[in-house]
Amino acid sequence: MSILAIDLGGTQFKSALISEDYQVEEVFDPKSAACDLVTCQNLLVNMIEPHLDRVSGIAVSCPGTVDTESGIIYNGGMLRFLHEFPMKDFLVERFAKPAAVLNDGKAAVLAEVASGNLKGISHGLAMVLGTGLGGGIIINGQLYQGAHFQAGELTFALPQDKKERLKGEDLAGLQVSAVNLIATCAKSLNLDDEKDGMSVFEAIKARDERVYPTFQAYCRAIAIQINNIQSVLDVQRVVIGGGISSQDILIEEVNRQLDQLEKEDAWAFMVIKRPEIRACHYKNAANLVGAAYFLKA
């Protein structure tokens, strides 16, 4: 039977049926993200109950630190109301099905390990561009979660000290937030919908000067994060996920920005081996597929 996978994002809750060989069988209409715990629980019930007789288990991907043994979510990332919520127990008790809960970045990297662009890679990294910056790390072919289940919480990397009081928007995850990029570019284009990513990327591909410099700066910020992480982890390949990873120009520009960084500091790149950069094979479905993989593991 299939697994019902749910991805709790900062702006949308997505769900799909994932087959036993990790193929996306059916995608359901996304729901607007909840703003409190009660609404979240009600949304989950509405998303799960219609499919209970078709699935063998329920797998959830979410932001925040997740104790994958107990299934308790801490901090909740952009969904702070999930702090200390026992998601696994809630799912098992409410729906009487096996359940698993996993951080979204870790889910993305597992999807790529299972049958995507990290298959056969012993040292890899997934970066998920969404409301913030999710991350998943593979070391010696195994998911690395860290001592406190928080390895890969790339959103919370701090900037270089500017001798000023740090602000939330200074965090690495907000500097490379795909949601913020689209909203900023939509404003520059005078679009009515700040979430109109299709129109934004049409303008970016056309090298529209109202948005292309913003896009270049965005990709440079990603390239800097990749280089910093590479100096610590030394991975073979980095895969980039999230909705905008389906845009080929994103990977192209990140590589161009890495080229530029190499020109600016050739010595550093002589020391630090540059990883291969690819889009996630599963694109925006990586979190869903990875959560299902984790449930079966």
> Over the stretch 199-251, which tens digit does the pLDDT of each residue have?
999 999 999 999 999 999 999 999 999 999 999 999 999 999 988 999 999 99
The pairing of beta strand 142-144 with beta strand 133-139 = antiparallel
Which helix H or strand E contains 113, and what residues bound it? helix 104-115
Tokens 């081996």: give the residue. Answer: 273
Single-letter amino acid, residue 286 = A
Give the span between the Cα atoms of 176 and 182, in whole angstroms. Answer: 11
Q: What is residue 5's three-state secondary structure?
A: strand
Give the span between the Cα atoms of 173 and 150, in whole angstroms. Answer: 15
pLDDT tens per residue, range 119-157? 999 999 999 999 889 999 999 999 999 999 999 999 888
One CATH from 2.30.30.280, 3.30.70.20, 3.10.20.30, 3.30.420.40 for 120-280 = 3.30.420.40
Average pLDDT of the segment spanning 26-55: 96
Give the span between the Cα atoms of 141 and 118, in whole angstroms. Answer: 10
Domain ranges of the chain: 2-108+285-296, 120-280
Domains 2-108+285-296 and 120-280 share a fold: yes
pLDDT tens per residue, range 257-279? 999 999 998 888 889 999 999 99
Single-letter amino acid, residue 111 = A
pLDDT tens per residue, range 163-204? 677 777 778 888 999 999 999 999 999 999 999 999 999 999
Residue 283 makes CB contacts below 8 A (sequence gap 6+) with 241, 243, 245, 246
> How many beta carbons lie within 10 A of that of residue 119, not counting itself?
11
Q: Which of 246, 170, 176 is nearest to 215 (CA)?
A: 176
Which helix H or strand E contains 90, and what residues bound it? helix 87-95
Q: Which of 275, 240, 295 is nearest to 108 (CA)?
A: 240
According to CATH, the superfamily of the domain at 2-108+285-296 is ATPase, nucleotide binding domain (3.30.420.40)
